[in-house]
Structure 1
């Protein structure tokens, strides 16, 4: 197939990844190409040249705290997605995969002569919800977890759940943790990811913490993280996946501390692939994707409960963690799931066209 893959434009699709959606988009593009498909990625400047992306604008993810800046970003993104959709309509594609989280591609999906599949990676928010409601009736939707399906249930009654995958050859299994005996946290260092709570819980559990990730929110760092820095806490910076896998695989447990309804949490899949048990807050998708063999959950936002979960997690069997990752989070299985959804979307699109064609011919004949 010839596939147009629409990324969001906040950050480049390249390593080190700012977040899970960038990783997912990069991984999917590569996996589809390895299976012989012709993939054109539409993304922001700075995206990985190995993907041969069409670069449509500078990244729009900085400066969102300023309302005037936010308005300028929205205008820039809307113009960029308009250009993308114009290019898609000219591009002779067989299918469009929409990872954009923007309403404009959804609103213009009815103009396309080919099917569009939209993957929902986040709970509903106002503009995206409006775009979903305005999308073509033939739109096929995927969600990344059962909890996210429930969040969208009133708007998208029957989405297909396709869990995110990771490269099992990168996040390799380690049968034993590093002798240093640390726990590990990774992600964007922003309030909703809860690093400050992970720091407090690791200290309460009496274990050193290593953490890694980008710092897009200087105020959060200054107010909530910098005052907590001290002994037994190591900032590793923003890591590429090969380095991330080394530190994650050496940990006794991975801490996952969302302060919102996390729709998936790729660090969970990455940790389990390495054989590293997970201690986290029981919210969002975490109760869906973990079980008692590979994770322990505490009450949301409760440091003492998380510290107790850490104590349980470090005793779990590492082989069971890897087994769950191989069963549920293999990137190849994820790709197969999307390809099956593409086939369904294309078949439904062709059925509708075959139904409409006779009527169009009769109308044309009468007009002649």
Structure 2
């Protein structure tokens, strides 16, 4: 298709750069790179410190100090909330003034309510990707959304969760299968992602010990108290924490792992780490929550009862025995980012053609 001028709005919480804070940041980075490689002109509005190679314009989330006696009023919202709110408000006002001259389509890939609520102020179409369940701040913003807005759910599970409020097209998240390369396996199990309670790494450690399988953990520690009380005491012996490693180090660790362990304690809207592991040929043992059962079947992984380390230990042993070549082939077919971007391009084309107006 003809190259489009795409305004890509990212989450302002973490920079869109390696090492990624989480799946949303990795997804946004890969989407921007793929769109640019296909000849589209991408302008990424993202947190300070994001990759400048992506046509990045930084959202001023750290540029608004709040001082004076007014800060002592208990009704005043926290600084970070105000900074994010004003950053997105400023962006949407700017797009309302000049976006029609600069862009063909806006793709809202953030988790903030302001772009959704203000879509009707734009003279160009907006596509919003729903990365979460119907959280109150996004759900309430739909009351003000433009009738011309298009919504994408990252899984069938997420589409069903939002179906009472909005119709959406399901476009599953994808991973760069050239970047996540097949590895030999045979090593320790791997758990990777943000070390926070809702990701459940403590349950993964307990399962690994029950299964008698060594395990490495990798990712940013974003909840120091949780790490100190639930993770650090469980480390030692066959359980190691590798730290927040860069992509090459992580890819190598995942490719050498015998099994990847995914342990959400909530209903994950997608589960990008599982797709990344499959792309390396590494089978996945995971709790059967959220969207994970949509793309994890018995040929590429093993599902366990949620929050049950003993059943997860069983799943780890079974998954580690699966054919890695088949796992890799399946990932290329089901989880490739090229398939995902194909579908986004089709959607951009539909919303930007006169017939879609």
TM-score of the pair, normalised by structure 1 = 0.90
> Which aligned runs of 4 or more in structure 1 are off by greater than 4 angstroms?
67-70
The equivalent of 1:297 in structure 2 is 303
Cα 1:167/1:189, change in 2 over 3 Å: same
Q: Per the alignment, do residues 191 and 68 of structure 1 end up closer, same or farther by CA in structure 2, a change over 3 Å counting? A: farther
1:307-333 alpha-carbon deviations (Å, 9 max, x no partner): 011111011111111111111111111
Partner of 2:149: 139
Cα distance, 1:69 vs structure 2: 9.5
Provide the rounded CA distance (Å) in 2 between the counterparts of 1:283 and 1:69.
37
**Matched-pair contact (CA < 8 Å) for 2:189–2:258:** yes
Is the alpha carbon distance of 1:171 and 1:352 closer, same or farther for their aligned partners in structure 2, counting shifts above 3 Å?
A: closer
Matched residue, 1:277: 283
Task: Say if 2:120 is the partner of 1:84.
Answer: no
1:28 alignment partner in structure 2 = 31
TM-score between the two structures when normalised by the length of structure 2: 0.92
Structure 1 residue 97 corresponds to structure 2 residue 140: no
2:332 is matched with 326
The CA deviation string for residues 321-355 of structure 1, in whole angstroms up to 9 with x for no partner, is 111111111111111111111112123xx3465xx
Give the SS at the match of 1:311.
Answer: helix
Q: Match for 1:161 among 166, 170, 193? A: 170
1:1-368 aligned within 5 A: 1-58=4-61, 71-89=78-96, 90-91=98-99, 92=101, 93-156=103-166, 158-174=167-183, 176-178=184-186, 181-347=187-353, 350-351=354-355
**Does the Cα contact within 8 Å between 1:199 and 1:228 map onto a contact in 2?**
yes
Once residues 72 and 210 of structure 1 are traced to their aligned partners in structure 2, the CA distance between those partners, rounded to angstroms, is: 36
Contact 2:157/2:291 (<8 A) preserved: yes
SS of equivalent residue, structure 2 residue 273: helix
Asked whether the equivalents of residues 13 and 47 of structure 1 are also in contact (C-alpha less than 8 Å), the reply is: yes
How far, CA to CA, are the matches of 2:16 and 2:75 in structure 1? 26
Higher mean C-alpha displacement, 70-79 vs 124-133: 70-79
Which 5+ residue runs of structure 2 have no aligned equivalent? 64-73
Q: Secondary structure at the match of 2:78?
A: helix
Q: 1:69 to 1:196 in 2, by over 3 A?
A: farther
Q: How many residues align?
A: 341
* Cα contact 1:282–1:300 (8 A) shared by 2: yes
> Contact (CA 8 Å) 2:194, 2:220: kept in 1 or not?
yes
